[in-house]
Amino acid sequence: MPGRRRCAARGPENEAAKPERLAEKGAAQGAATPLRGKPQRRDRGTVPAASGTPAKTPSTLGRPPPLALGPASGAKWPSKPPATPRSAPRSSASPPESGAGTSSATSDNVKVVIRIRPARPEEEAAGSACVQQRSGQVLEADGPGHERRRRDELHYDAVLGADAAQDDVFQLVGLPVVEHCMSGLNASIFAYGQTGSGKTHTMTGMLSNADQRGLAPRIFDALFARIAQEETRLGREKLRYSVRCTYLEIYREELTDLLRPAGPPLALRLDAARGAFVDGLEERDIFNSDDAMALIRCGSEHRRSAATAMNADSSRSHAVLACQVESMRREDSGLASVRSSRLYLVDLAGSERVRASGAGGAQLRETCAINSSLTTLGRVIAELVEAQRRGAAARHHVPYRDSRLTFLLQDCLGGNARTVIVAAVSPAAEHAGETRSTLEFAARAKCIRNRAVVNRDTRGSADALRGQLACLERELELARSESRGPLLEELAAAQADADRERAAASAASEEAATVRVDAARAAVDARRHRKEAARWEGHAFALQLERDALVAAMVRAAGAGTAAAAAESPLELAQRLGAERAAAVEGIAAEQSARRAAEDRAAAAESHSSGLEQALEAAERRAEAAREQAARLAARERQLRGAYKDIQSIMASLPPPTPRSTPREGAPPAPWHALTSPGSSAAAWESSAGEASSSGDPSAL
């Protein structure tokens, strides 16, 4: 093809110069976006006062307050920087006036801290510094390119001068991050800047010197101190923390475990639930700050570094120290609330110009890979800011997949995290271009909005509910085995007693009815006997009258001499009347005796009926008590069954438990085939992902 022939005709010297041109383009990528607004022109070395306030020198500048990354920290940064004079308009480092820079309860901009490295003796001898601190949030820097005699006033969240100590950086950046981890919010800290500007010193420092330790060891010291404080306050039986760490190196788009550097390169995978993670990365449990120091020391010893013309100990790779913090708090109800947070401490490789570094061969390829990765990071930030400016409806593409660094840490850039970028700059005049590029990168990153939320792990609550369900099942089974038999026997006995009492009450009721009938019959007989006695009394009275009349007649007959003519003698008549009277008296006595006997039988029947009624009432009371006891036993059994069904319904609505580090056998996560590496072929990426897909169980980053 003609185009290919023309490229071949350029000669090998052009091909050899191609990596250098790529590196130069990558290092200068930050300068592609100009600063908004017209910067103020100032003479080099002059620091004017703002709003009538006397100018401050770096030695008299106060320490800025801690970064307010969200509701967990105490102090809060203003939504806009302090007002500047009208003669000195803000540059692009200032937050925008539009809604793109405002933050809400769930949204917060990336915080940017500028740290100026102290000047070396040869740099001080060379001339004035290209950057100078004015206050805790304002610095002055040389203008870009041919306008370097111009001074621009730039605003950031915080500016640390050359006299800032390691503890100043920790108080400003590290403490809020620790509080966010304790609250269940994800957090990340990036160290960005030119090689030799102090990134690794800021992030790690000298582990053997307590005063020179960087952010990572100080953060772990404060984190375990806060964990001990919380566990002591609430008790380990109610609150427990767990900390796990990984240490990853990204070298020329290859992933290496710094805790096991001899192993094969790792693969970056994508999971629908966990997002992007590194398959096979070792995850260690950390129990105290000494364990964390040992892990940091182990990873730092295995990290790739080399000496260049710009830095005697230049880091040739990106280092990502990830920390997973989980807290399980057991409530009084028996359930457990689980919060988790992830902390990323990212020490980026330093950008450098190929001509200034004097690199060649393998170092040249390393430099090209570093600059290409940082270029991709800058492009992702620029596209992300543009996408957030346009809004969700615009569907602007953000190229996270163009590098493994941005794809792995995409939550830290516009996602679920609180992010701080510490931009380290050199004050040397010979590095004014690199310093300006770093400041412009920080200005763009400051416009990114993240949305951090408290991570509540439903898996922990589900595990707690499963534990409670198991306890209730055991309790129910125990109640069935120990109490169900006696309860059923007691219920059966109570029901049998109730049946017997009902039968006895029914028999007593029937007997009482019979006695009532007998009493009624006896009363009828008594009334009949009374009537008969009254009739006999009347008959006896009539006989008495007849007797008296006969006696009177006899007396008259005797007096008249007619006694012989009488039909019967008076004696016989008296005997007959006496016999009739005796018979009448006997009849009356018999009737009275029968009446008294009937009345006695009626009284006995009434008494027996009253006793039977009392026995019936007692039997009914015993039957009612037996029924109430049976109802209580049935209600208790229904309560146990209802509690069991409620817990089963709760468990049915919960998601299945997600394995922490070991997926189900036969279902490994899908390899991440979509990654493409600038400067490497797609086939190499697919082959590395395919090799990683046959590895063991993945572990979360």
Q: Is the pLDDT of residue 598 over 50?
A: yes
Least confident of 95-109, 170-184, 235-249, 379-393: 95-109
CA angle at residue 293 from 287 to 297, to 5 degrees? 135
Distance CA 181, CA 236 (A): 19
Rounded mean pLDDT of 113-139?
Answer: 83
194 annotated to a ligand binding site? yes
Asked whether the beta carbons of 263 and 280 are under 8 A apart, the reply is yes
Helices (H), 10-116: 12-27
Rounded mean pLDDT of 50-55?
Answer: 36
Rounded mean pLDDT of 63-86?
Answer: 43
Distance CA 370, CA 316 (A): 7
199 annotated to a ligand binding site? yes
Domains, in order of start, for the chain: 19-75+112-456+674-693 (3.40.850.10), 461-653 (1.10.287)
Distance CA 129, CA 429 (A): 6
Phi, psi of 286 (to 5 degrees): -115, 125
Distance CA 254, CA 684 (A): 11
Residue 258 CB-density burial (10 A; 0-12 exposed, 13-18 middle, 19+ buried): buried
Which amino acid is it at 581? R
Phi, psi of 200 (to 5 degrees): -65, -35
196 annotated to a ligand binding site? yes
Instruction: Check residues 401 and 699 and name the one with the higher pLDDT.
Output: 401
Q: pLDDT digits over 562-591, tens only?
A: 545 455 566 777 777 778 778 878 877 887
Percent of the chain with pLDDT over 70: 69
Q: pLDDT digits over 620-663, tens only?
A: 787 787 778 778 777 877 877 777 777 777 777 766 655 554 44
Rounded mean pLDDT of 361-374?
Answer: 81
- 569: its two tokens: 């003698």
Phi, psi of 125 (to 5 degrees): -70, -25
CA angle at residue 685 from 681 to 689, to 5 degrees? 165
Least confident of 60-69, 419-428, 452-461, 554-563: 60-69
Distance CA 77, CA 70 (A): 10
Burial 366-384, CB ≥16 within 10 A → b, else e = bbbbbbbbbbbbbbbbbbb
Distance CA 582, CA 579 (A): 5
- What's the pTM? 0.56
Average pLDDT value over all residues in the chain:
73
Asked whether the beta carbons of 190 and 421 are under 8 A apart, the reply is yes
Q: Grade residue 344 by pLDDT with cuts at 50, 70 and 90.
A: very high
What was the pLDDT predicted at 487? Answer: 66
Instruction: Check residues 66 and 617 and name the one with the higher pLDDT.
Output: 617
Angle of helix 362-390 relative to helix 432-445, nearest 10 degrees, comes to: 40
What was the pLDDT predicted at 90? Answer: 36
Distant-in-sequence, close-in-space partners of 98: CB < 8 Å, separation ≥ 6: none
204 annotated to a ligand binding site? no
Rounded mean pLDDT of 206-216?
Answer: 92
List the one residue out of 392, 411, 455, 370 whose CA is nearest residue 193. 370
263 annotated to a ligand binding site? no
Distance CA 214, CA 234 (A): 31
DSSP 618: H
Q: Is the pLDDT of residue 168 over 90?
A: yes
What DSSP letter does each residue of 456-493 carry, written as one string? Answer: E-HHHHHHHHHHHHHHHHHHHHHIIIIIIHHHHHHHHH
What was the pLDDT predicted at 380? Answer: 92
Rounded mean pLDDT of 143-150?
Answer: 61
Rounded mean pLDDT of 503-532?
Answer: 83
Distance CA 453, CA 42 (A): 44
| Cross-strand pairs, 336 | 330
Percent of the chain with pLDDT over 90: 23
195 annotated to a ligand binding site? yes
Asked whether the beta carbons of 422 and 205 are under 8 A apart, the reply is no
- 512: its two tokens: 């009482």
Instruction: Check residues 395 and 545 and name the one with the higher pLDDT.
Output: 545
Distance CA 368, CA 402 (A): 15
Of these ranges, 2-11, 112-121, 391-400, 449-458, the one predicted with the greatest mean pLDDT is: 112-121
Helices (H), 204-288: 215-234
Given phi > 0 = left and psi -120 to 50 = alpha, else beta, which region is 395?
Answer: left
Q: pLDDT digits over 280-296, tens only?
A: 899 999 999 999 999 99
